[in-house]
Structure 1
Amino acid sequence: MKKNRQWENEAFFERLRTYQMVASIKEPKQLEIALSLKNNLAGVFLLTGHIGVIKGYVDLFKKHELPVFLHLEKIGGLSTDTFGLDYLAKVIRPTGIITTKTNVVKIAEKMDLLTIQRFFLVDTEGLDNISKSLCQIEPDVVEIMPARIPEMIGEIKKLTSLPIITGGLLFDRSHAVECLRYGATAVSSSKSELWNEVSSPHFA
């Protein structure tokens, strides 16, 4: 199982560098759209569902070898304590998790789950908060919200060498391209019309 997990993790980082677009899924009807575009996506972030259906969603994406991450604060009925995350890792078995909470990152890493920590950068205090958090524990990936302040990506890159995903308030391809030019590893978006437009082969 550990070997499979290692292969899955390496596959995600390779896809992240290659495709640079992550599909954020906020409603079930987007599941099929993401699957139809799987060859253009680094992976999917699930921001919808509840404990009764989420394993089915995860299994669907894993069957198609598309990395899948659960945003823990968006999934109904899922506990983020040690027992809940142990169940998540052993039964639901996503590629990893997304959370805003440093203590959840610590627990999830012990479960061999890839971790993405989401930060909201609303003022200069936000940079200090990111710095303090990363001093406590490093997730595998940092996600910065919103994406419409791309010049701040450079400031965050001074704090860490971790891959940076940015998302939020992306309305068209030019916004995504700008973020990547400022140093983001990838962008995330819930706008399915962007999923097919923003991938490495189209960037010139």
Structure 2
Amino acid sequence: MKNAGTIIIVLFLAVCRPSFLKAQEQDNKTSAAIQEKNTKEGVFKKDGFYFGPSAGLWFPDGKNRVMGHPVLPGLIMELKSEKSSISLTFDFIINEGTKDTLYIKYNDELLKKNKFAGGQIGLDFDHEIFSKEKFSIEAGAGLGYGMMTYHNPNKDVHVGRSGLYFSPGLSFRYFVSNNSFIKLRTQYYVANYRLKDDVSTDFRGNYPTVKLIYAWR
């Protein structure tokens, strides 16, 4: 009986060994094929620290329409994981001329102006809601601090308004290489840059923005 058991075990191993070797060979081929495919497609990791310039436009949606469409040059520093990102943003608000005259109260005078300038610094958080290869759609929001100057007669005097803002947004990101991306970001800024007197032009209203970002790591 002992010899019979040994014979059965030997026969079982002899029958199973070719199947096992064939399965192992198939697994090796599959792994090699996946690795080759990844190499050809340039599979990459998205995480890292990115830095780059940005440019955009501001579209006031209330009484602040008199301000026109300021240009928003800026810089971005972004820390990104595979699915999420947090960005420190710096934006300048530049307008070389408005369509309508702006009336700004300064002391006892009511000044006529057609230019203004400002800036914003903020922290944006985004998370992917759709992703396919190098393209992704991201939803997020930002919180920051902005300042608008309407009259600046000298370095010590600034007639303007500053305060916090909140900016939910939607972004479209595409990696143009393994180390860089372009990003179209749309945001709706909830802010208040209205002067506190009742004589100056009323700047109440929020403003959607469209911004194009290019950043690399």
TM range (shorter): under 0.3
Greater share of helix: 1
User: TM-score, normalising length from structure 2?
Assistant: 0.20
Structure scoring higher RCO (CA < 8 A, sep ≥ 6) equals 1
Which has the larger Rg?
Answer: 2
